[in-house]
């Protein structure tokens, strides 16, 4: 569920980021559910689902969640944070594998393995942090 948060200071309303979070167990999370979460979050902020930046956000979330489910069997989590003004989307995916994702070189003859390269081109920021168990991959997209 996506819940917008608002804080009031004096007479002016200061919008807080819109957030969505979900976690999954050993069975994984359907990738379509992760894309639906992006659509719902952007819709709450008044962004069109067919806008180029929204389509890019769907691709990035799909790729990061797919990698987590495919390469790190076990529990995982997705956090989406849409900045006030809906001009920036932060994506965090946690999984149980300690191994960071690897951007493979472009190879037009290879089938598959191009997703992370696309993520690096669509995001202004991509960083992996080791956790006590597993890792967290953080991506930041400019939606403006």
- Residue-wise pLDDT for 94-134, tens only, equals 999 999 998 888 888 888 778 899 999 999 999 999 999 99
Q: For residue 67, give the CATH number of its domain.
A: 3.30.565.10
One DSSP character per residue, 41-106 reads HHHHTT--TTSHHHHHHHHHHHHHHHHHHHHS-S-EEEEEEEPTTS-EEEEEEEES--SPP-PPPP
- Residue-wise pLDDT for 7-33, tens only, equals 334 445 657 899 999 888 877 778 899
pLDDT confidence bin for 3, thresholds 50/70/90 = very low
Look up residue 12 and give its DSSP letter. Answer: E
Domain containing 123 equals: 17-105+113-142
Q: How many domains does the chain have?
A: 1
Taking the model in full, what pTM does it have? 0.85
């Amino acid at each position: 569920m996506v819940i917008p948060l608002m804080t009031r200071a004096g007479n002016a309303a200061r919008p807080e980021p819109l957030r969505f979070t979900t976690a999954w167990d050993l069975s994984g999370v359907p990738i379509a559910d992760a894309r639906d979460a992006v659509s719902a979050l952007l819709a709450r902020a008044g962004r069109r689902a067919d806008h180029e930046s929204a389509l890019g956000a769907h691709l990035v979330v799909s790729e990061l969640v797919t990698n987590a489910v495919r390469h790190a069997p076990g529990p995982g989590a997705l956090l989406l944070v849409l900045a006030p003004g809906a001009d920036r989307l932060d994506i965090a995916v946690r999984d149980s594998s300690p191994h960071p994702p690897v951007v493979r070189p472009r190879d037009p003859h290879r089938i598959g393995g191009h997703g992370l390269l696309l993520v690096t081109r669509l995001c202004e920021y991509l960083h992996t942090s080791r956790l006590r168990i597993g890792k967290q991959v953080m991506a930041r997209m400019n939606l403006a």
